[in-house]
């Protein structure tokens, strides 16, 4: 059975002489594993389209429970990532997160849009990468069933806590004096405002907030550690990205 779909290459692993085993996030079937035979052979027609972080049109063949890439052509190569090692590392982290939080064989259009919009913004240098990363992480958590609850203090109901803190284990907001938990991290007015913006903005506007300096670092710390606390795992690509990060 042949099927055509658009697919984002989340991961590629060399297999045998010239094949690739791909983890694809497809528009029609969600996350699948597919083999691209001969993709590493010289003059291969599928080489570019089966590279990690390529967004491609693919014709796939499904037989006995296994997918094979029959034809593939690049729609968007995200070239801006390929010439910038830090940006590529961050894009690879986005891909690893999507792989970790998506469900095999399940169509997830919002998650796919989030991944593509984030890679696009990163590739084009449209925003500070730290803003893109925090927005990606928070929206990913929200789409994956871990929506933080940051409208008001979970104890006293204050909408603007004097010293806001965010609990990484249950995703709730507290005033510092209301919070008895060791798993909470500090926010400030501006990072809390940005977090609320990111969680409520239309999908294509999630990066359109103004934040810099310490408040951006605070937001980044909370977003990353919330994702790590909820997923209860580490990400090799995140460790790799941090080698290039300058802040």
Q: What span, in angstroms and rounded, lies between the C-alpha atoms of 186 and 165?
A: 4
Describe the crossing of helices 129-143 and 85-101 by its angle, rounded to 10 degrees. Answer: 0
In whole angstroms, how close is the CB of 159 to Zn ion at the nearest point? 10
111 in contact with Zn ion (CB under 5 A): no
Q: Is 38 left (phi over 0), alpha (psi -120 to 50) or beta?
A: left
Q: How far is the CB of 148 from Zn ion (least distance, A)?
A: 16
Count, residues near Zn ion per rule CB under 5 A: 6
16 versus 160: smaller Cβ distance to Zn ion = 160
The correct pick among 153, 165, 195, 223 for binding Zn ion (CB under 5 A) is 153
Q: Residues 226, 141: contact at Cβ < 8 Å? A: yes
DSSP state letter for 177: G
| Beta pairing class for 66-76 and 2-15 | unpaired
Q: How far is the CB of 218 from Zn ion (least distance, A)?
A: 19
Q: To which H or E segment does residue 9 belong? A: strand 2-15
Choose one: 81-89, 152-160, 226-234, 235-243; the region binding Zn ion (CB under 5 A).
152-160
Please state the closest distance from residue 187 (CB atom) to Zn ion, in A: 13
Q: Minimum CB separation from Zn ion for residue 174, in Å?
A: 6
The CA R_g of the chain, rounded to the nearest whole Å, is: 20
Q: Does 154 bind Zn ion (CB under 5 A)?
A: no
Residues 171-190 that bind Zn ion (CB under 5 A): 175, 178
Interface positions with Zn ion (CB under 5 A): 153, 155-156, 158, 175, 178
């Amino acid at each position: 059975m042949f099927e055509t779909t658009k697919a984002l290459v989340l991961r590629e692993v060399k297999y045998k002489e010239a094949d690739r085993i791909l983890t694809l996030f497809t528009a029609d079937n969600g996350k699948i594993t597919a083999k691209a035979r001969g993709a590493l052979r010289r003059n291969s027609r599928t080489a570019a389209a089966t590279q990690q972080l390529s967004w491609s049109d693919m014709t796939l063949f499904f037989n006995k429970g296994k997918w094979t890439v029959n034809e593939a052509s690049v729609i968007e190569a995200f070239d801006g990532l390929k010439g910038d090692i830090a940006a590529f590392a961050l894009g690879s982290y986005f891909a690893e997160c999507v792989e970790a939080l998506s469900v095999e064989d399940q169509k997830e259009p919002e998650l796919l849009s989030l991944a593509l919009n984030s890679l696009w913004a990163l590739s084009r240098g449209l925003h500070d990468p730290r803003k893109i990363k925090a927005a990606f992480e928070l929206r990913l958590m929200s789409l994956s069933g871990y929506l933080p609850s940051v409208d008001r203090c979970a104890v006293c109901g204050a909408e603007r806590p004097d010293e806001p803190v965010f609990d990484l284990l249950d995703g709730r907001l507290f005033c510092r004096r209301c919070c008895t938990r060791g798993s909470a991290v500090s926010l400030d007015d501006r990072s809390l405002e940005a977090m609320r913006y990111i969680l409520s903005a239309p999908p294509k506007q999630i990066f359109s907030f103004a934040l810099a300096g310490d408040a951006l670092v605070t937001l980044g710390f909370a977003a990353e550690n919330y994702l790590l606390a909820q997923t209860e795992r580490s990400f090799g690509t995140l460790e790799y990205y941090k080698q290039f990060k300058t802040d």
